[in-house]
Chains A and B, each alone.
Chain A
């Protein structure tokens, strides 16, 4: 990360169980978390302090989460919002995104996915940094203009699709990327195939990137996704 300030989050969730484990794992991930159990508390907290991001559950006891987000936006709170919901219909997704929420996650979700999306949001928020033309992770180098990748100076023979995949992993180096993130970002699909299509792509890519005798860079986290080693 470009700077070392501790990120501050506001978690708006009424169910204690979820509140507890989210708070614990967010704190574990290095965030400072304030918790609100209902919309009113959330409103007063959010107007008193500028948070880096909000995590808002839609089913609040005193009001609809979407109404809360709308009101906060109206009050000038511009922090990105990660919406959590047990509702699953597309209509709600659209509504949520349309009304200022920046990402949407349906329950149940993988904790790693939540963290990954949160990082995404925060990064988006920090700065629309000038996109680099060159990426480097350990001895893996990607030339984004020439669309060429090399490892230890040795050119890798990647298909265009594989290059895009590797680029996405490099951009998120050190962070977990889930399968659905890959499907959405690399292939532009919001699908959940019940076959291992993504794994096979990663497997192939790994065969080219992590060749014999080299330090393996692409790591699989079972049940969650993948992570490209940072150092």
Chain B
């Protein structure tokens, strides 16, 4: 992080994502907890109710069977006392001997007949009478003077009185409170942990994005040659970086191409245009006889032809390099083509005391654009013609191997100089004494590449240049394209 503003900008993204993620996480955890809490509460209540129902049955039984004498109260209270000691989830409040359970026997009205529990039972009885009671079904009871409600079950015995057994919900509430407390602290911990992880991960990811953004803006402003940083991971950000870099590669090469073209156009058009202009001006000037003017005009026309040719080739090369060459392919026998070419070039070669020799292994059919291939091959021979000193030999070899036609041009001339060798197929590179525009080999390379082949240039160890052109042979591809070609021919 380079500056504070970057820091906040970065954070805002990471913060936002982390906050939302945490919120969702917390919400999910709360839902889980609520479900769990409900389940535990129900379970505890079910257990208390089961205990209450069991005990009230016993107590009712005892109350019914015990004779209603002096001892009745004692017997029943002792049984109730005993039962209260078997309270589930036993954890009594300190000090108070037994406020978690009460036993009450009462008529429809009047004071309690029998009371076992804390206090005199009047408050409990009032509360019971105030609420609607369904026998044998446990119900909730809030008693004045007690913070904690009771769970109460009632039964009616034969003498017409009611027996009530109440169990304080204190234990249940305590268990639930403990549960909540623990869950809350654990939940907060988990959520915080989750937040930290999400924040860290997002910050890392956004850090990469920020680096890419910074690099991209740097590139956009000035430096087209630098690239955005890439990660070794194959994730979205890594892909983004790699895609951007590939795009930049293409843009850079296009821009470079454009520069080269404009440069070469400026250079290669200006001087001949100046010459043409000068010649035409001279031929116009007074005091020049027409016999003197004529050669100047003729050479101006020559110059214009060369310019036109240069312009065409420049555009072809540029198109080929931009992979925009439109090929209308047909089957061409390279062997035949080379033979015709040699026939065409041989007089010119022998004029310059150059020997040309062909070693061909027979037909080599390729599926190519005739016009482009013709020009490419003639460019190769033109190139030899222009660069070779007298009494050299050009050896052309042609063979087919594994569905690839290989054309090798070797000579025993001076070979490529180091500098031409390096930028052989770039536009405008000329050999030292070259008179051409240096487009020849660039065009060859572009055409061959457009046909799926490769051109390599090197110097032979024994001296001289060696150009190797490979082109895929025509086999199956031929069949599938016959149709459109026929249509074109017709």
Contacts and interface: CB of A to CB of B under 8 A. Distances in A.
Chain A contact surface mostly = loop
Contacts of B328: 90-91, 94
B305 A200 contact: no
Interface stretch (A38-46, A52-60, A61-69, A191-199): A191-199
Interface in A86-141: 88-91, 94, 98, 106, 108, 110
Contact of B309 (A192, A201, A222): A192
Contacts of B215: none
Given A91-B328, A108-B304, A197 B315 contact: no
Contacts of B315: 88
A90 B309 contact: no
Given A195-B385, A200-B347, A189 B302 contact: no
A189 B340 contact: yes
A90 B385 CA distance: 27
A90 B378 contact: no
Interface in B403-441: 436-437, 440
Given A90-B328, A94-B488, A194-B309, A189 B374 contact: yes
A171 interface: no
Interface in A3-55: none
Contacts of B340: 187-189
Contacts of A191: 371, 374-375, 378
A90 B306 contact: no
A194 B326 contact: no
A223 B298 contact: yes
The range of chain A's interface size is: 20 to 34
A191 B302 CA distance: 17
Given A188-B340, A223-B305, A90 B375 contact: no
A231 B363 CA distance: 45
Contact of A194 (B319, B371, B374, B436): B436
Contacts of A161: 343
Interface residues of B, number: 39
Contacts of A203: 347
A49 B416 CA distance: 62
Given A90-B328, A98-B488, A200-B351, A193 B302 contact: no
A208 B241 CA distance: 70
A4 B300 CA distance: 36
A82 to B, nearest CB: 18
A90 B372 contact: yes
Contact of B374 (A108, A190, A196, A201): A190
Nearest to A97: B488
B284 interface: no
Nearest to B490: A98
A161 B351 CA distance: 17
A107 to B, nearest CB: 9
A227 B381 CA distance: 27
Contacts of A73: none
B301 interface: yes
B81 interface: no
A90 B369 contact: yes
A224 B302 CA distance: 9
B393 to A, nearest CB: 18
Nearest to A107: B308
Interface in B319-356: 319, 326-328, 340-341, 343-345, 347-348, 351
A226 to B, nearest CB: 14
A194 B440 CA distance: 9
Given A187-B344, A194-B436, A89 B351 contact: no
Contact of A108 (B308, B341, B381): B308
Nearest to B315: A88
Contact of A189 (B299, B344, B369): B344
A219 interface: no
A204 interface: yes
A194 B306 CA distance: 8
Nearest to A162: B347
B302 A91 contact: no
A110 B381 CA distance: 26
A70 to B, nearest CB: 16
Contacts of B382: 193-195
A183 to B, nearest CB: 8
Contacts of A224: 301
Contact of A91 (B326, B345, B351): B326
Given A108-B308, A194-B309, A200-B351, A90 B371 contact: yes
A191 to B, nearest CB: 4
B488 A223 contact: no
B92 interface: no
B481 interface: no
Interface in B286-301: 295, 298-299, 301
A46 to B, nearest CB: 25
B371 A195 contact: no
Contacts of B306: 194
Contacts of A98: 488
A200 B436 contact: no
A221 to B, nearest CB: 9
Contacts of A188: 340
Contacts of A90: 326-328, 369, 371-372
Contacts of B343: 161, 187
B312 interface: yes
A88 B312 CA distance: 8
Q: Which 5 A-B pairs have the closest CB atoms?
A: A223-B301, A200-B348, A200-B347, A222-B298, A191-B378
Interface of B: 295, 298-299, 301-302, 304-306, 308-309, 312, 315, 319, 326-328, 340-341, 343-345, 347-348, 351, 369-372, 374-375, 378, 381-382, 385-386, 436-437, 440, 488
Given A187-B344, A223-B299, 20 more contacts: A89-B326, A90-B326, A90-B369, A90-B372, A106-B312, A108-B308, A189-B344, A189-B378, A190-B371, A190-B375, A191-B378, A192-B309, A192-B312, A193-B378, A193-B381, A194-B306, A194-B382, A195-B348, A196-B348, A197-B385
